[in-house]
Structure 1
């Protein structure tokens, strides 16, 4: 077993031990149940229970911990503050219902949320109840206050006619240690649904996120966190599904295990970024199902100086999605570019849509504002800063084809005209029209592609692969359609290895590569 594999197996074991020790610690702290109804809360869906719920939380915290029990009913509330050694437990048939009055969400530590915690330890949210933020109604109330001049949003988006300030999140956890969330259904946030910042030792298990209420409804966002386990979650979000961020320098994401989740998104399913100032290291992602997702199934992005390394992704199934894989090193912010290295992506099966994968969403991702042919998967650094050591193995992607030379035609002799877009927002559409239909790889040092099968539903005039400024390329067992030659294009490719079975064209196992002359 290689040292690399030993390291990641060790990560999994440590995460398991963390989860076990955290469960024991939480059990030890469950000294008493506190029924919110005993503190005056009424589950009629009409009575505002903010003060009563907060009294129960404060009492449990003061007595060194306890479980806040919500019995069956609908408990209307504004913002509540979760404190150390306190568990919120929602019985089946219980709904915690967010108020639609913006005044019920005062800022706490410069943030707004229905449930908020800052600098606490040993907190949890459990049970089979529902937390419903009534996000669209709340956001429209914020919008109305802006237009009537009661509460002006200085960052109001007049192009999209929607507010940016004052909406808040459903749950926001910052600078906390030992957080556990299980079983609950989170729905209808006015902003990000479930957000962590600078927190550690986090377990999220069997959580259902269903939030298409308003824009920026990211499912689970983690900003500068460590020792994180996200498993068995079902996410349907009107923005990124699971998003790892580093929105300011000094925020580091380390030691993640994300597995056995289903994701539907009007943006990306799993994404690193776009905020990427700090690091993303030692992350394992496996057994993920993606469907009806507008952008990438997997997007790994460093554009603000982030260091990204030791990333393992495996067993991904994506159906009806805009893109399978995006790995992007750019330089949007920061003194110097970061780096991306040691990325392994294995056992991926994806089907790329021709039209909008998220057409059934009422809040869809923004349209690309120019004519384009279907985009390939992209792995792209920038001049002088290459992505390093990428392994792609057992990858099967079906593309729609139907590319046309009538518009957006980029012939192979014009590869130099593909946009670098060094400072651009990272997205698989960011380079404009691309000259390949399967993979576009540029500014990469060390890439291995093994057991890659690319198929087309309809004809595409472009080659399957384009490699530009690539070193140490190894390809083996590559299957592409059999009806055309020159499926692999090289430009400034050095130290490449294609074994005797490198390119299989169905019944014709014949090499079909073409190297562009130096220009």
Structure 2
């Protein structure tokens, strides 16, 4: 066994100029880049897995050979483990500190189709299973890079069962005995770049309790098995994701627990379930920008929390094409599980959320992805969905703003849906609306128990006439709606406020004929002002029902 030595500068030159004739031979020697000289202070060791006995024939099991290359690289205090051109079959591999795993453009790490070739990651927590293809525990300065492929061979592990961790299932009878593609636990300075990750048997990339995570140019295609997540984070800090494309079956970018200081930008996503999913812990200081979301059902942006301290999220310049439940936030203030960390939060809250520059088209119900080979249940609450802000009891969502938001809905909602009482359930959005067959009582936005809500330049339209109000406020306090425009339906109020107070509406427009511009309900409603705007297409400015006082609303032209 041997390794080759080239300078770091020339290594980078070899890799980055491969497209113009420079590269590495199968033994790691440079060709097409001229004579290479190395100084001892600047040399990088290259460990070509072929030199350790690996065979890229797609049939030979190379676990021991590849692990030997990784171990030798780690023992030498770091270097580059090169996966050359070829298809290298392997079972579980442990990555280590200061190791760069380089995937050549024609190189593929292919997961074994046999369960006996995998183990649990040593030291990896067992939550959601810890059987894994590639993993690292407490590793520093770890990199996976290159234009090659890591393929989990996940179809070989399909048995028709998921992990049963969905609403109300609690994992009972779930299928956890299958390998994740990657798990990183308590790692620092982790870099993933340019590689193609595909066909995991379970989640694709699990990043747990890590700091300083940099993900750039990763492409994920993960639709061969159930629970095929893309990125899955738990309790991480200083995470930066850019220029990625994710097509998966389950959560595309789940951030559970206490993730902090996270940015996601210039990425595209598609999945059957959610894209950005948050829940529990102290999840704070997260910015998502310049992202494209398409053919996504089960809610692109989903926050479902019991006891949590969630604050300072921004979502800006987001395009959503063909989605259901575009934004869903549910908050109960009560622990959803037995997680002691969650239960230790004494003052749960969700606050300071910004949605800016959103363009969306919302379908009537989910549409099957033609490249997902198994059927997926459609929840009743996914039909006729809307933006949902839903807290309950003594708990409130606080300081939420929507600015420059334009959503076109499928429409088709009925008066029967519009008149239904919403149950006191704070869950994933479809969990709430499952209790109301046919969908929510608003076609655009439903908000309950919200303090400090701002809508600025928001426009809701529909394809098919909808007999539900565009907006329903239920116990919303301290709200401002400015420059709001929406399609209406004759006989249906455009806006419906229930027990809400301290609300200013200014410069609003009714786009198509409607019933009352504003229907106010309940004696608790107070201090509502309508200031200007164009509401001529409404049947009347205000209707008062269920004990609402005339003094609760002031109309100023």
The TM-score with structure 1 as length reference comes to 0.84
Q: CA deviation at 1:260?
A: 0.7
Q: CA deviation at 1:160?
A: 12
User: Residue 326 of structure 1 aligns with which residue?
Assistant: 328
How many angstroms apart in 2 are the aligned matches of 1:158 and 1:454? 35
How many angstroms apart in 1 are the aligned matches of 2:226 and 2:273? 11
Query: 1:266 touches 1:364 (CA, 8 Å); kept in 2?
Result: no
Query: 1:173 touches 1:197 (CA, 8 Å); kept in 2?
Result: yes
Matches within 5 A, 1:178-257: 178-246=189-257, 252-257=258-263
User: Residue 516 of structure 2 aligns with which residue?
Assistant: none
Q: CA deviation at 1:158?
A: 12
Q: Does 1:113 align with 2:132?
A: yes
Going from structure 1 to structure 2, the CA distance change for 1:454 and 1:300 (only over 3 Å counts) comes to: same
Q: Give the 3-state SS of the residue equivalent to 1:279 in structure 2.
A: coil
User: Residue 289 of structure 1 aligns with which residue?
Assistant: 292
Going from structure 1 to structure 2, the CA distance change for 1:102 and 1:158 (only over 3 Å counts) comes to: farther
Q: Give the 3-state SS of the residue equivalent to 1:103 in structure 2.
A: helix
Q: CA deviation at 1:227?
A: 0.1
Going from structure 1 to structure 2, the CA distance change for 1:160 and 1:243 (only over 3 Å counts) comes to: closer
Which structure 1 residue ranges, 4+ long, deviate > 6 Å from structure 2? 157-162
Matches within 5 A, 1:79-478: 79-108=92-121, 109-110=123-124, 111-140=130-159, 164-246=175-257, 252-273=258-279, 276=280, 278-303=281-306, 305-330=307-332, 331=334, 332-333=336-337, 335=343, 338-360=348-370, 361-363=372-374, 365-369=376-380, 374-405=384-415, 409-412=416-419, 414=420, 417-422=421-426, 424=427, 426-431=428-433, 432-433=435-436, 434-478=440-484
Q: CA deviation at 1:418?
A: 0.7
Candidates 506, 509, 513, aligned match of 1:503: 509
Provide Cα deviations, 1:467-497, integer angstroms capped at 9, x if missing partner: 0001001001111115536211111111111
Going from structure 1 to structure 2, the CA distance change for 1:239 and 1:448 (only over 3 Å counts) comes to: same
User: Residue 52 of structure 1 aligns with which residue?
Assistant: 65
Q: CA RMSD in A?
A: 2.7
Q: CA deviation at 1:161?
A: 12
Q: CA deviation at 1:162?
A: 8.5
Q: CA deviation at 1:267?
A: 0.2
Query: 1:292 touches 1:358 (CA, 8 Å); kept in 2?
Result: no
Provide Cα deviations, 1:113-159, integer angstroms capped at 9, x if missing partner: 1100001100010000010001120344x98xxxxxxxxx999x999
Going from structure 1 to structure 2, the CA distance change for 1:53 and 1:118 (only over 3 Å counts) comes to: same
Query: 1:265 touches 1:358 (CA, 8 Å); kept in 2?
Result: no
Going from structure 1 to structure 2, the CA distance change for 1:363 and 1:243 (only over 3 Å counts) comes to: farther
Q: Give the 3-state SS of the residue equivalent to 2:407 in structure 1.
A: strand
Q: Does 1:489 align with 2:518?
A: no
Q: Give the 3-state SS of the residue equivalent to 1:509 in structure 2.
A: coil
Length, aligned pairs only: 462
Going from structure 1 to structure 2, the CA distance change for 1:74 and 1:30 (only over 3 Å counts) comes to: farther
- Segments of 5+ residues of structure 1 without an aligned counterpart are 1-27, 144-152, 247-251
How many angstroms apart in 2 are the aligned matches of 1:123 and 1:178? 7
How many angstroms apart in 2 are the aligned matches of 1:373 and 1:63? 58
User: Residue 38 of structure 2 aligns with which residue?
Assistant: none
How many angstroms apart in 2 are the aligned matches of 1:379 and 1:443? 8
The TM-score with structure 2 as length reference comes to 0.78
User: Residue 16 of structure 1 aligns with which residue?
Assistant: none
Q: CA deviation at 1:504?
A: 3.9
Q: Give the 3-state SS of the residue equivalent to 1:258 in structure 2.
A: strand
Q: CA deviation at 1:283?
A: 0.4
Provide Cα deviations, 1:421-473, integer angstroms capped at 9, x if missing partner: 14x4x234423332111100000011000111100100111110000001001
How many angstroms apart in 2 are the aligned matches of 1:474 and 1:427? 24
Task: Name the stretch that deviates more: 336-345 or 505-514.
Answer: 505-514
User: Residue 19 of structure 2 aligns with which residue?
Assistant: none
Query: 1:132 touches 1:188 (CA, 8 Å); kept in 2?
Result: yes
User: Residue 74 of structure 1 aligns with which residue?
Assistant: 87
Query: 1:61 touches 1:86 (CA, 8 Å); kept in 2?
Result: yes
Q: CA deviation at 1:80?
A: 0.2
How many angstroms apart in 1 are the aligned matches of 2:172 and 2:327? 32
User: Residue 485 of structure 2 aligns with which residue?
Assistant: 479
How many angstroms apart in 2 are the aligned matches of 1:514 and 1:31? 76
Q: CA deviation at 1:67?
A: 0.4
Going from structure 1 to structure 2, the CA distance change for 1:263 and 1:411 (only over 3 Å counts) comes to: closer
Q: Give the 3-state SS of the residue equivalent to 2:51 in structure 1.
A: helix
Query: 2:164 touches 2:172 (CA, 8 Å); kept in 1?
Result: no
Higher RCO, Cα 8 Å, sep 6+: 1
Going from structure 1 to structure 2, the CA distance change for 1:515 and 1:131 (only over 3 Å counts) comes to: farther
Q: CA deviation at 1:185?
A: 0.5
